A = this chain, B = another copy of it.
């Protein structure tokens, strides 16, 4: 026979209901929670105690009372648990420790090429992540790791799939490698979804529908629909770089196809056009440097790339009618030239109603969007119904801990 605490543990869904109510941060008394859930006062009291024990909620200042003993209020408190956000880019790695409110507590960044392979890169992540979290270990528990990778990731397994710029990473068990070392779940997604999440979470939390478009060496989008990352049937929603565009008719793309958007509007294509005009421009970084120096040809080419991307985005606007398009990535962040080209086309061609309230902006998260998004992904996992239930079960049956 199970005692009351054991019984309680088996009904996790209803337990976590109280936490899901408190998650909005608003303080509530036990009796407010009882009337919101329809649970008996004694049940609510036991469940509030359990949430206090696992340090997901805290008592807050006493509620105003009409005389008599004041009622104690409780609210979500994310300061006792931490996550690691990890942004692995083509040529850098960035790690941050945040609490469950997303507040960044410490971070470290290093220029490291993803092409050095998973052992080298993940080794650095494990070493630096452990070092970074150490000062917080006496007062916080690490709960999850979120990782963004610069290539396609199979959502179900978190493994990179045929990543073009990541030799040695294909099907590598990134979540297994990290959760094995850190002893917590590791969530992995591609960098664009992670940046979209960071941009949405950090700057547009009240917007339901947002498109984050990264324009750098490649072109891709993170699609936020109804407030969540939309992945689609094969998990490849937002793969805008390889859409056929008339401007690329006959132009070969690095993917092997002909006519892709990337083949005319991403960094390497812009560099090639500038070289054809006699400029000494080879990489995406060379393009952004030229633009920031004010080179007229480079500015003109980036603006034209913005127009080509804008024509594709016009169709996206009609299809999903977003409230915000945020342009990020190194080419979009080199001045406002890509933005200007995209705006010119979208505001001219989108239907009046879709365009009237559409904001087209540069990504605000800039260099921290990816690491903040990776942390946000980890936090979403930690605060999910299943994870909170698992935490409450672990509190009741410590020997059940996996």
Interface on A for B, CB 8 Å cutoff? 8, 10-11, 13-15, 35-40, 43, 207-209, 221, 223, 225-226, 228, 230-240, 242-244, 246, 255, 257, 259, 311-312, 314-316, 318-323, 349, 351, 353-354, 356-358
Contact = CB atoms under 8 A, between A and B. Distances in A.
Contact of A11 (B15, B35, B240): B35
A233 B358 contact: yes
A208 B233 contact: yes
Contacts of A39: 14, 38-39
Nearest to A247: B246
B225 A230 contact: yes
A140 B357 CA distance: 45
B13 A243 contact: no
A15 B37 CA distance: 10
B315 A243 contact: yes
A102 to B, nearest CB: 24
Per CB-CB distance, the 6 closest pairs between chain A and chain B, nearest first, are A232-B321, A11-B38, A14-B38, A233-B323, A237-B321, A244-B349
B209 A233 contact: yes
| Protomer copies | 2
Contact of A226 (B40, B226, B314, B357): B226
Given A231-B321, A232-B320, 8 more contacts: A14-B37, A38-B39, A223-B319, A225-B225, A226-B230, A243-B315, A244-B311, A246-B246
A259 B246 CA distance: 15
B319 A240 contact: yes
Contact of A237 (B314, B320, B358): B320
A237 B13 contact: no
A38 B14 CA distance: 6
Contacts of A231: 321
Contacts of A43: 38
A43 B222 CA distance: 45
Contacts of A319: 221, 223, 237-238, 240, 315-316, 319-320
B38 A356 contact: no
13 contacts: A14-B38, A15-B38, A208-B233, A232-B322, A234-B356, A235-B321, A237-B319, A239-B321, A240-B318, A240-B319, A243-B315, A244-B311, A315-B316
Nearest to A321: B232
Contacts of A38: 8, 11, 13-15, 39, 43
Nearest to A40: B40
Most chain B CB inside 10 Å of its own CB: which residue of A35, A209, A232, A314: A232
Nearest to A220: B318
Contacts of A259: 349
Contacts of A243: 314-315, 318
A382 B378 CA distance: 36
A288 B378 CA distance: 54
Contacts of A40: 40
Contacts of A8: 38
A210 to B, nearest CB: 9
A225 B233 CA distance: 10
Contacts of A238: 318-319, 321
A223 B320 contact: yes
Contacts of A36: 13
Nearest to A352: B257
Contact of A234 (B221, B226, B235, B321): B321
Nearest to A237: B321
Given A315-B243, A319-B221, A320-B320, A357 B209 contact: no
Contacts of A351: 236, 239, 242, 255, 257
Contacts of A233: 207-209, 321-323, 357-358
A207 B314 CA distance: 27
